[in-house]
Amino acid sequence: MTNRTAAVALLMESFLLLVSCAAQTIQVDITPAHSTNQFVPNETLGAGIDRIPAAAIDKDLVQPSLQQVFAAGWQPVSYRQNTELLMEAWHWNPKGTWSDPSGKGYFTGSATPTEAIRYSYGYALPHRGTTRNDGTGNAGFSRLTDGDLNTYWKSSPYLTQRFTGESDALHPRGVILDLTVNQLVDSIRIAWANPYATRYVVQYWTGEDPIKSQTKGVWQTFPHGAVTGGKGGVETIRLSENPAPIRFVRILMTESSNTCDSHQPADAKLADPRNCVGYAISELYLGTTTPDGAFHDILRHTRDQEQTATYCSSVDPWHEPSDLLSTKQAQVGVDLFYGSGVTRGLPAMMPVALLYDTPENAAAEIEYLKQRNYPISYVEMGEESDGQFMLPEDYGALYLQWAAVLHGIDPALKLGGPSFQGVNKDIEVWPDANGKVSWLGRFLDYLKQHGRLNDLAFFSFEHYPYDGCKTPWGTLYDEPDLVSHIMQVWREDGVPPNLPMFITESNLSSAASETYMDMFAGVWLADYIGSFLNAGGNGVYYFHYLPLQMEHGCNDSPGTFGMFTVDANYQIQQPLSQFFVSQLINLEWVQPGTGEHLVFPAKSDVDDGAGHALVTAYAVKRPDGQWSLMVVNRDQLNAHRVRISFNDQTRQSPNFFSDTVETSTFGKNQYQWHPAETQFLAHSEHAGEQPVVAITKGTAEPDGPVLHSRPTGGKDTLYDLPAASVVVIRGKLGVK
């Protein structure tokens, strides 16, 4: 290279550096009338605790682990109730009574405090009718196609007229068969148990997928699929004259025999009405009938996930002690939860099981907590009912039954739900008689129609915006719009403007991966929290609060939902990117404690030329009088320098940071994740081993801390935003 060429290259490099570092602007609208929200940190910025390995409970809920967790700054805790996702009945108290004196049936935990509860467990439901859902993974099986006539699916008794006070036709029970591909069908055989359906229809789906795309098709009754005089036993029905290609078949039941199931005691004095209402099926068969009258079944009957998949609209929570399948994982016992100090002495959001439980068990739990004088902020009713294929009117019917019992204990309890799964668009279900498909809209309508909207004290949902296997850097640009859009959707569905809106569980994705440890996750977290509060959110809970082992994640990468890596004994090894960003949010951006913060809109003019904001900003006025900006540079490669201007439309002159300004920076110079090395095993060495295993551990280097500096503010002060960083800038305002 000649000297002239080298000089030109150096000049060009200097010019490009100058362009990339040219100052741009963040405008903050501090007009008092334009404030978008107000919040108190120790009521608003929290974290969630779920069912975890029992070993993690023993190691995490002690010092010094808790102190390291507390260093992230999260405040109130949401107790996540995982047993509903796995279609289990929750024994929140291992001690209690069974409805059947022989020691089985419907369980109610003891409301009388004795020794402290350290662990609690979920019990599998022997009348399960769903092969898989969004919580079970590929574990367990349905009794509808398990090949065993001695087992049966049974619907929830709490959705019958005896408990709802409404006609059973208003809460029809349904089971769905999924053949995975179109197959020729003209006949069905139903082996009923007790109680059986006396009135039902057999239908096929005309569209794509009635589980995942409920508005893209309709349920059409087979030509001979309407039954008005069902007699139970084994019924074989010729549904149509000729076989037709069908994938999904549904049996929709609207009238019951109300005959008692196999659990009804011989002694009539011990009769339990729950055993004698609803519907029960031992086994389903589907296929064709030949001219000789022979029925030919095409379903696969087996007690595992290879069975023909079925889905059901509800499950009877009847079970027995042998249905406790494992104690290796546990819900944290409520006494340990409150007594360990993890709640910081703040009121906690507590759950009650609702989808697969009884109102008596929920009432006993609340009574127990009150007798212990444990502070409760809110009570979340059930867990992810949308992921359990429950219709909104059915959830509403259960909600009102549970609410009546719980408010009978304490009318001041703040009840809410339904704890939707993390979705980015409205949840839609098969249209009702009026053509309405919004799940939330119909649930709210149900409460209004019964004059019980006041029983809903808050609306809750979860936020997992991304597919864990699909997270290119550019998806970071989507988060502010994703969270603000879904909140607007809920409001348009009918959530009242004054009803608090909580995200009770959240992180990048429902699937763990190494993305959680990368700087990507920290940048996302700042944008998410800032966007939620700017959009008017009332409470947000980071998930998962406690340190956990790496798990097999998306694209076969190891990942953790926690803020730390731990060793085999759950001892914390390293904090991860979300730990440091949590500190920025909770300890630098906001003023910790009980003071009220006001949120104001802020916007930068830094973009990528394609309409994506590379720099986002979130402004709060703190109770100590400081203005605080959390600035997110989502530019993966380039640093930016910005001026900050505060504009009040009631005044003519803009304001700027003045005097000493506190800045806290977390970017690539403070943190870099180095992934684990993995290896594919064509044939695993050990039974059940994953096909791809980590042969080295991932590590962060550098691994913090946050960089603090104290520049002098002013109109022309430039603030540095390193590439892929979160920067908190705070101070007092002046006009110079």
Per-residue pLDDT, averaged over 504-526, amounts to 95
pLDDT value of position 268: 66
pLDDT value of position 421: 93
Residue % of the chain over a pLDDT of 90: 88
pLDDT tens figures, 342-376: 999 999 999 999 999 999 999 999 999 999 999 99
- Count, residues in the chain: 736
pLDDT value of position 16: 38
Q: Per-residue pLDDT for 518 more than 70?
A: yes
Q: Per-residue pLDDT for 297 more than 90?
A: yes
Query: CA 704 to CA 581: how far, in whole Å?
Result: 10
Work out the pLDDT band at 556, boundaries 50, 70, 90.
Answer: confident
Q: Which residues of 371-393 are buried (b: 16+ CB within 10 A; e: fewer)?
A: eeebebbbbbbbbbbbbbbbbbb
The pair of three-digit structure tokens given for residue 448, joined into one six-digit string: 């209004």
Query: CA 454 to CA 447: how far, in whole Å?
Result: 8
Mean pLDDT, the chain, as a whole number? 94
pLDDT tens figures, 420-469: 999 999 999 999 999 999 999 999 999 999 999 999 999 999 999 999 88
pLDDT value of position 553: 87
pLDDT value of position 685: 76
pLDDT value of position 3: 47
Query: CA 698 to CA 518: how far, in whole Å?
Result: 10
Sign of CA dihedral 444, 384, 315, 188: positive
Q: Per-residue pLDDT for 478 more than 70?
A: yes
Per-residue pLDDT, averaged over 677-688, amounts to 80
Strands 415-420 and 458-463: parallel
Work out the pLDDT band at 22, boundaries 50, 70, 90.
Answer: low
pLDDT tens figures, 51-83: 999 999 999 999 999 999 999 999 999 999 999
Work out the pLDDT band at 696, boundaries 50, 70, 90.
Answer: confident
Among 3-7, 350-354, 379-383, 489-493, which is the least confidently predicted range?
3-7
Per-residue pLDDT, averaged over 672-686, amounts to 85
Query: CA 546 to CA 562: how far, in whole Å?
Result: 6
pLDDT value of position 528: 98
Q: What's the Rg (C-alpha) of the chain?
A: 29
Do 529 and 482 form a contact (C-beta atoms < 8 A)? no
pLDDT tens figures, 598-621: 999 999 999 999 999 999 999 999
Q: How many CB atoms lie within 10 A of CB 679?
A: 10
Q: Per-residue pLDDT for 418 more than 80?
A: yes
Query: CA 304 to CA 141: how far, in whole Å?
Result: 5
pLDDT tens figures, 637-649: 999 999 999 999 9
Residues with Cβ within 8 Å of residue 732, at least 6 apart in sequence: 625, 626, 627, 657, 658, 659
pLDDT tens figures, 216-238: 999 999 999 999 999 999 999 99
pLDDT tens figures, 194-212: 999 999 999 999 999 999 9
Q: Per-residue pLDDT for 10 more than 60?
A: no
pLDDT value of position 736: 56
User: Measured in whole angstroms, how far is the alpha carbon of residue 519 from the centre of its chain?
Assistant: 23
Do 30 and 655 form a contact (C-beta atoms < 8 A)? yes
Do 202 and 219 form a contact (C-beta atoms < 8 A)? no
pLDDT value of position 12: 38
Residues with Cβ within 8 Å of residue 328, at least 6 apart in sequence: 53, 54
Work out the pLDDT band at 692, boundaries 50, 70, 90.
Answer: confident
